[in-house]
Structure 1
């Protein structure tokens, strides 16, 4: 009698595993980073792709669309998100993900995660909707529904966080993600806490919360064990398809579980970024972390060019300021330095309240001005990269990255190498001059003080 055939090893299903929309560009590239460097090729489109563009990447295991929903009102979401979610649904991935910032940047009037959840539930389906925000790899932790984030090794509850408690657009005054979401949606929000996850009771708590009517289920993540357990709950309870919300913590969780279950290789070689001779940086971030990075860069060979953001309240004045900024940045390159074009250096920069006062005096919508600033920074970068023939660039600031990226005419990126967690170096795909450009979208709170120098020198910035 011939021996019975060996049972085949478990495998992940073919085709795209995850389809995602990111509510800002930096967060979207963070999802791509997690998956790509785990051995799951991922493409990120910087807007809804055409059929031809999608066909160019038909071997990808994850497909994402980066957006700017984080800086938009609910009415914008009602108009813009449905066709994007419908396009994601056509990819037929088992997991659809609405990616939000790991510090949960949102409010009822801008970047509403609750409104996105309502739209996604209707169009992307699923019997329940996991919410995973914690991600130990980037020092984000959730315990009993409360979100914590670290700066320089010190953890803060989000409503006491030095950055998020003072965020100029979406200041966080509630660390419990359930309560925070309850201000944005009437969808019932439940919790599977870390105690249940570490004592083998996660299944029971998940079932109990769903039986009680919860449709959004926040999953605590504190360490590698709870991370993998969160991934297991999502994957094993995905049904025919599942709509999830959260940071790149969702992808970290799925990768952790897939590795634990033998569905994914435990180690994948990570490429190292190469050094480049010249780099250009634009920043619209008001974060103190970015401020430290700006100070470090200016002390180490970068030349600063400040744009007067108050001029963005009027289109003509801002166009002139953008032209001036591009010329100044090119002069910096001529002088042998790397240009760093910025609108503010931290939340205490006088430019921050000055912009608010200018917006109030002009009576214009802050979202319009913020979009104009981001677009202007992108046009500065476009001019500098094209005229100087640069091969690498950085855009800093979550909201800034979206508008600046669109101004560059890039339609997609893939991950090349890690720079800092959440901010990989990417390869740009464009119809014109910027095809092949190496670019990173850096969130305001990401990276060490030497991030910009390290991005030039080819060092990983952990």
Structure 2
């Protein structure tokens, strides 16, 4: 058997499919699971080179995160991949109260006990650029939007749960962990990668700049060199980790990149469910409505208060699909950032599951990072596999499930910042 190169734990579902796309496209046969797999589970997927776990820690408090991550990281360590990556949102959405990346770093140090934990700051392919520790982000992944410093980003600076008030990732993360954070900046990166850590002191964590796609192979070489010193290297960052390692493994001919995909076929019916608060997603909903999509607006506050979806929503959905072939279910213009992601995500997942079971829906798009992990679980998805690229960071996937109706369903999970205004129409 080929050695297992990489295992990653995503802090939400949309971010996890982002990482899945990068490593699959690099040429590694990969599966994304809902829960950490056992060796027996992995044996059912022959020739795997990588796997991921789509977690939900982005929406959890640090104490809950610790309980989840210590168990998950320990299970991953038993399987002995060369690399374990804690995959965060490319804009490092987090705080000391919710989705703490610092807490994930603490858990990773405790389990893997590496001498140095690398944090990759940027993902250039997604319009995320880290320079001298400061993160800049494009408005709308794959949209050609303007690039803003993170604390001045029109969307991320106003995120309803974890608004970005600091662009320097070292400062941002130091509010979440007591570990000292060093830096490998743009200037140091001009040196051979074996010299990148020469001037580090007693730091256990090091932030690495990433500005150009061309830098990623060298970053991958640095990560692989660190992995030689430990049985498994633990790292943190967006899908720039998969991009870097994939590029290096291709250069070393460990992997051969995917050259062709079967084209995405038209879908007779399409359901979109959105719990996203992003203005990017809001613009996409408006565009879709102007292109023959019908809509159902749900009362998110009532759903969260009662912890259930009104039966009328299902009846309306069923009736609308008799006269319409493209429907978006969303929360309207009311702000939902202060509502429980778990309850809202579960509700959207149950609506999606109902559509698959009763409306003959074969393709579903789920929008919203905070709610996506709960939606996927409510849909009874156990794993997904990438089947086609669409927009960078949000591939079309095939679902695995014990529910025969869900098994084989085509699903797409997108974060709030992903895509141009025509995003939903791409799936028709």
Task: Decide: shared fold, TM above 0.5.
Answer: yes
Counterparts of 1:407-426 in structure 2, within 5 Å, are 407-426=378-397
Equivalent position of 1:231 in the other structure: 220
Equivalent position of 1:166 in the other structure: 158
Equivalent position of 1:24 in the other structure: 12
Equivalent position of 1:183 in the other structure: 175
Equivalent position of 1:445 in the other structure: 417
User: Which stretches of structure 1, 4 residues or longer, exceed 6 Å deviation after superposition?
Assistant: none
Residues 56-103 of structure 1: CA distance to partner in whole angstroms, max 9, x if unpaired? 124211011111100000010122211111111111111010000001
Greater RCO (CA < 8 Å, at least 6 residues apart): 2
Equivalent position of 1:405 in the other structure: 376
The secondary structure found in structure 1 opposite 2:210 is coil
Residues 134-163 of structure 1: CA distance to partner in whole angstroms, max 9, x if unpaired? 111111110000011112331101000011
Contact 2:62 2:98 in 1 (8 A): yes
Cα deviation, residue 292, structure 1 = 1.1
Equivalent position of 1:123 in the other structure: 111
Cα deviation, residue 52, structure 1 = 4.6
The secondary structure found in structure 2 opposite 1:107 is coil
Count residues in correspondence: 421
Change (3 A) 1:431 1:320: closer
- 1:137 matched to 2:125: yes
Cα deviation, residue 329, structure 1 = 1.9
Equivalent position of 1:390 in the other structure: 361
199-208 vs 243-252, which moves further: 199-208
2 CA distance for matches of 1:410 and 1:426? 11
Equivalent position of 2:206 in the other structure: 217
Contact 1:280 1:338 in 2 (8 A): yes
1 CA distance for matches of 2:324 and 2:204? 57
Cα deviation, residue 413, structure 1 = 0.5
Equivalent position of 1:105 in the other structure: 93
1 CA distance for matches of 2:87 and 2:234? 11
Counterparts of 1:1-80 in structure 2, within 5 Å, are 14-49=2-37, 52-80=40-68
1 CA distance for matches of 2:150 and 2:61? 22
Equivalent position of 1:3 in the other structure: none
Unmatched segments (≥5 aa) in structure 1: 1-12, 360-365, 457-462
2 CA distance for matches of 1:412 and 1:305? 28
Equivalent position of 1:362 in the other structure: none
TM-score of the superposed pair, with normalisation by structure 1? 0.88
Determine which structure has more spread, i.e. the larger CA radius of gyration: 1
Equivalent position of 1:10 in the other structure: none
- 1:274 matched to 2:245: no
1 CA distance for matches of 2:161 and 2:121? 20
- 1:293 matched to 2:264: no
Equivalent position of 1:248 in the other structure: 239
2 CA distance for matches of 1:428 and 1:205? 41
- 1:203 matched to 2:194: yes
The secondary structure found in structure 2 opposite 1:434 is coil
2 CA distance for matches of 1:266 and 1:431? 31
The secondary structure found in structure 1 opposite 2:197 is helix
The secondary structure found in structure 1 opposite 2:171 is helix
1 CA distance for matches of 2:367 and 2:149? 24
Residues 353-374 of structure 1: CA distance to partner in whole angstroms, max 9, x if unpaired? xx56xx6xxxxxx5xx221011
Residues 184-218 of structure 1: CA distance to partner in whole angstroms, max 9, x if unpaired? 00011111111221x22543332321xx1111111
Q: Which is helix-richer, 1 or 2? A: 1
Cα deviation, residue 280, structure 1 = 0.7
Residues 213-240 of structure 1: CA distance to partner in whole angstroms, max 9, x if unpaired? 1111111111123222211111122123
RMSD (Å) for aligned C-alpha atoms: 1.7
Change (3 A) 1:286 1:223: same
Contact 2:38 2:75 in 1 (8 A): no
